[in-house]
Amino acid sequence: MGRYLRLYLNFLRFSFSRAMEFRLDFFFRVVMDAAFYAVQIVFFSVIYRHTALLGGWSYDQVLIFACGFFLIDALHMTIFANNMWWLPIFVNKGDLDYYLVRPVSSLFFLSLRDFAANSFLNLLLAAALMAWALLRFPGPLDPLRVTLFLALLVNGAFLYYLIHLAFLIPVFWLHSNRGLGETFYTLEKYSEKPDRIFHGWVRRLLVSALPFSLIASFPAALLFEGLRPGLLLHVLGVTALAFAAVRAAWQLALRNYSSASS
Amino acid sequence: MIEVRGLSKDFHVHKKQAGLWGSLRSLVKRETVVKHAVKSADFHVGEGEILGLVGANGAGKTTLVKMLAGIIHPSGGDARVRGHRPWERPRDFQRQIALIMGQKAQLWWDLPAADCFLLLKEIYQIPERQYRETLDLLTGMLGIQSELNIQIRRLSLGERMKMELIAALLHSPRVVFLDEPTIGLDLTAQRAIREFILEYRQRERPAMLLTSHYMEDIERLCERILIIREGEIVFDGPLAEVMRTHARHKVVSVQLKPGAPRPDLARLLGRGLDLTVLEETPERLRVQAPRDEIPQLAGRLVTELEVHDLAVEELDIGTVIEGLLHSRQGAA
């Protein structure tokens, strides 16, 4: 474990030294993400002009939920997104070769090697928005539940990465993964909405096989509606299952890796 | 160190007719062909040995190397490298091997090599002292201590290749796979890399498997070679053995005395010998002949010409191997 932590610290060091070379890109990303956050907040503000509650949540509650999602998105963009973007390219160009001969987990290496240091300011921005949304909340918030909520947001970022990876792994067989990639970006929009607004089989799907609602919505529900052990177990259990499934799929995919001609 | 038994690899490749109609047809019904990249390979490589893998493009050399490095799974057969099945990728196996691919970089493009080496130190858990000693040794042997802190992308191709070699050897591997390590390098850099490999072999005695299209790499580095043609190993033995079994011809070179009369080649060589004139100038004559006709030819030349010097040469190894690669009969 300590060794993997040291490896990750090296990735961080490399990423920051690289990012400093491209200053314009560094600032451009901050502006782009700030605009994205603003659009999302305005979206909910407009909805709440016409209704007092959405999926049983007030505007202040939805603001915390939305900021929770921003934080998850920023964590994903900073930690995983670049690596996810490169993965299909690496598979198709045969560039996994060197990762497969090293005595470390290839999944760890390929998921975390490229830390987006130029998104790091966005992570700080998202954290600041989260703090603002929590501090402006009119009712009392139990510190223990806030801590659990924040921990579950980190879990949500991990779950988001697992789902994203599940949509990318088929590239080992399909070689062109554009269709599945687009499908993921269409489906992930469900994680930006409170889970209560969905019903029937859509909702069942969103809390099980495609657990987008467990990413940000369930953590927010735990914060607002009290500690429900069943809900907590559900989130953690699905995350653990998703991790096991993705690892198994990864091993299977590597068996199918054909590299590329020299 | 490396034991290979009946190892094979098939790739299933889609075939598609050209044009829009072909694309539409392949959408509905796809034709798949099986490409036998490696066919039942058997060989072994011992400690301190450099085995050369020679073959044309697409012959299956790199596929073989990638199976033995644990990158791709075989379709059949078995192999053990230091007692491990490579494609199971046990950590103990991965710690003992190194892979260098001349056409693919493993180092971070935007970082100095020194930073990349520190990451490898963590990956291979190299103790600090061993890391320092190995790094000093390798940079000293390759003469690139002063380039360690320069970004990889600012180095010349030759310097980059040297850094790639250091990156691969920092953890003192017992088995080294070298896939075209000198490709694209100028002659000086090629020579430096070859000398380094020889010195490293002498010092550390790992088993090495080398693929290269440069015959000089093979001649200088390998005592033994495998010739692979369309996935099949058609020769496994010492380099000299290739000459003995497959070079059916030799070349006789004659240096004539200054002012000697020009020989009548048609009369001289046209009597019952199977000969090819490779070079003819007023001072010099080079003739290729079957091995068993060489004594008769040499005798005739010495008797009938004013010879200053005469030499019998083997055919160039590259020519012999090229003949072997391109002829189904396997003779040059």
- Closest Cα in chain B to A173: B12
Chain B, window 295-314: residues with a beta carbon less than 8 angstroms from a chain A beta carbon: none
Tell me the C-alpha distance between B252 and B4, whole Å.
41
Is B70–A100 a contact, with Cβ atoms under 8 angstroms apart?
yes
With tokens 């002009």, the residue in question is A49
Residue A19: what pLDDT?
A: 73
Q: What is the ipTM of this complex?
A: 0.82
Does residue A231 belong to the interface with chain B, where contact is any CB pair within 8 Å? no
Phi-psi region of A76 (alpha: psi -120 to 50; beta: other; left: phi over 0): alpha
C-alpha torsion A147→A151→A153→A156, nearest 10: -160
- Closest Cα in chain B to A108: B123
Is A14–B122 a contact, with Cβ atoms under 8 angstroms apart?
no
CB-based contact B257:B237 (threshold 8 Å): no
Of B11, B98, B124, the CB nearest to A258: B11
Q: What does DSSP assign to residue A168?
A: H
A 10 A CB-CB count for B188 gives 9
Of B58, B89, B101, the CB nearest to A100: B89
Tell me the C-alpha distance between A215 and A239, whole Å.
10
CB-based contact B236:B43 (threshold 8 Å): yes
CB-based contact A177:A88 (threshold 8 Å): yes
- What is the least distance, in Å, from the CA of A15 to any CA of chain B? 10
Is A13–B115 a contact, with Cβ atoms under 8 angstroms apart?
yes
In a structure prediction context, what are the per-residue pLDDT tens digits for chain B, which is 332 residues long?
899 999 999 988 877 777 777 777 777 777 788 889 999 999 999 999 999 998 888 889 999 999 999 999 999 999 999 999 999 999 999 999 999 999 888 998 888 999 999 999 999 999 999 999 999 999 999 999 899 999 898 999 999 999 999 999 999 999 999 999 998 888 888 999 999 999 999 999 999 999 988 888 888 999 899 999 889 998 899 987 877 777 778 888 988 888 777 777 766 766 666 778 888 888 888 888 888 888 888 888 888 888 889 998 877 777 777 777 766 544 43
Partners of residue B122 in chain A, C-beta under 8 Å:
3, 6-7, 10
**B234, B190, B231: which is closest to B212 by C-alpha?**
B190
Does residue B26 belong to the interface with chain A, where contact is any CB pair within 8 Å? no
Is B123–A21 a contact, with Cβ atoms under 8 angstroms apart?
no
For residue B63, what are the contacts with CB-CB under 8 A and spacing of at least 6?
Answer: B9, B37, B38, B72, B231
Residue B68: what pLDDT?
A: 97
Does residue A95 belong to the interface with chain B, where contact is any CB pair within 8 Å? yes
Percentage of the residues of chain A whose pLDDT score is greater than 90: 56
- What is the least distance, in Å, from the CA of B73 to any CA of chain A? 6
Of B72, B103, B110, the CB nearest to A262: B103
Partners of residue B118 in chain A, C-beta under 8 Å:
10
Does residue A93 belong to the interface with chain B, where contact is any CB pair within 8 Å? no
Partners of residue B11 in chain A, C-beta under 8 Å:
258
Residue A232: what pLDDT?
A: 92
A 10 A CB-CB count for B203 gives 10
Q: Which amino acid is at B166?
A: I
Of B66, B97, B110, the CB nearest to A259: B66
Domains of chain B by range and CATH? Answer: 2-243 (3.40.50.300), 248-314 (3.30.70.1150)
Does residue B106 belong to the interface with chain A, where contact is any CB pair within 8 Å? yes
- Closest Cα in chain A to B57: A262
For residue B236, what are the contacts with CB-CB under 8 A and spacing of at least 6?
Answer: B43, B224, B225, B226, B227
Residue B332: what pLDDT?
A: 39
Q: Which amino acid is at B117?
A: F
A interface test, pick of B62, B66, B118 with most A CB neighbours within 10 Å: B66
- Residue B201, phi then psi, degrees to nearest 5: -60, -45
CB-based contact A57:A197 (threshold 8 Å): no
Does residue A39 belong to the interface with chain B, where contact is any CB pair within 8 Å? no
Does residue B74 belong to the interface with chain A, where contact is any CB pair within 8 Å? no
- Residues A124-164 have pLDDT tens digits of 889 999 999 999 988 888 899 999 999 999 999 999 999 99
Q: Where are the domains of chain A?
A: 2-255
- Mean pLDDT is highest, among A27-36, A52-61, A155-164, for A155-164
CA distances from B261 to A205, B252, B255, B275, B303 (A): 98, 19, 13, 21, 14
- What is the least distance, in Å, from the CA of A9 to any CA of chain B? 10
Partners of residue B101 in chain A, C-beta under 8 Å:
97-98, 262
Q: Which amino acid is at A139?
A: G
Does residue A10 belong to the interface with chain B, where contact is any CB pair within 8 Å? yes
- What is the least distance, in Å, from the CA of A148 to any CA of chain B? 34
- Residue A140, phi then psi, degrees to nearest 5: -75, 145
A interface test, pick of B89, B149, B212 with most A CB neighbours within 10 Å: B89
For residue B13, what are the contacts with CB-CB under 8 A and spacing of at least 6?
Answer: B32, B33, B34, B35
Is A97–B94 a contact, with Cβ atoms under 8 angstroms apart?
no
Residue B271: what pLDDT?
A: 65
| Pairing assessment for the beta strands B249-256 and B232-238 based on DSSP bridges | unpaired
Tell me the C-alpha distance between A172 and A30, whole Å.
34
- Residue B184, phi then psi, degrees to nearest 5: 80, 0
Residue contacts between A and B (CB atoms, under 8 Å): 67
A 10 A CB-CB count for B270 gives 10
pTM beyond 0.95 = no
Is A103–B66 a contact, with Cβ atoms under 8 angstroms apart?
no
Per-residue H/E/C for chain B: CEEEEEEEEEEEEEECCCHHHHHHHHHHCCEEEEEEEEEEEEEEECCCCEEEEECCCCCCHHHHHHHHCCCCCCCEEEEEECCECHHHCCHHHHHHEEEEECCCCCCCCCCEHHHHHHHHHHHCCCCHHHHHHHHHHHHHHHCCHHHCCCEHHHCCHHHHHHHHHHHHHCCCCCEEEEECCCCCCCHHHHHHHHHHHHHHHHHHCCEEEEECCCHHHHHHHCCEEEEEECCEEEEEEEHHHHHHHHCCEEEEEEEECCCCCCCCHHHHHCCCCCCEEEEECCCEEEEEEEHHHHHHHHHHHHHHCCEEEEEEEECCHHHHHHHHHHCCCCCC
CB-based contact B302:B33 (threshold 8 Å): no
**B179, B164, B173: which is closest to B108 by C-alpha?**
B164
Q: Which amino acid is at B115?
A: D
Partners of residue B71 in chain A, C-beta under 8 Å:
96-97, 100-101, 257, 259
